Amino acid sequence: MKEIEKGWILKGDTLADLATKLEIKPAELEASLARYNGHCKNQTDPDFGRPARSLVALEKPPFYCIKLYPATFNTQGRPRRNHQCQVVNPDNQPIPRLHSAGELGSFWGWMYNGGGNNAEALCTGQIAGRNAAAAKPWQKTPDS
């Protein structure tokens, strides 16, 4: 509850209340949550491909939210990645569908490189995103 008191976590007794605290239009938040809850009801996530077992509807107040902002963090060290920004296993083989960007798996991981963070995040983010987007969809399995 201290995080709510400090304003780190926002609490709304209704979606409109939460939207006001987030400084967004209540109708947009309500539409977004209705779409997500529809995915939960249908046990399919066409937006992000989440497995059905992870889709849990958000229906009862209160509602909580944390504001997040894009940022670049220093994560020195492993995991390692190849030139296509694929995370590789200890045998240097790509792990299917696992990409990294920025300093996660950085080629600078052996030293602290202040000043290269944004450039590395932009370049590797583009490479990782392009390769992730080009990946063929997973085949559905009975438990997905």
Residue 54 lies in a domain: yes
Does residue 6 sit in the same domain as residue 45?
Answer: yes
Q: How far apart are CA 26 and CA 20, in angstroms?
A: 7
pLDDT, position 76: 58
* For the chain, percent of residues with pLDDT exceeding 70: 83
Does residue 58 sit in the same domain as residue 94?
Answer: no
Does residue 55 sit in the same domain as residue 104?
Answer: no
User: Residue 116 sits in which domain range?
Assistant: 86-134
Lowest mean pLDDT among 10-19, 41-50, 107-116: 107-116
Phi, psi of 37 (to 5 degrees): -65, -35
Does residue 39 sit in the same domain as residue 93?
Answer: no
CB neighbourhood size of 40 (10 A): 17
pLDDT, position 63: 96
Does residue 61 sit in the same domain as residue 90?
Answer: no
Does residue 56 sit in the same domain as residue 109?
Answer: no
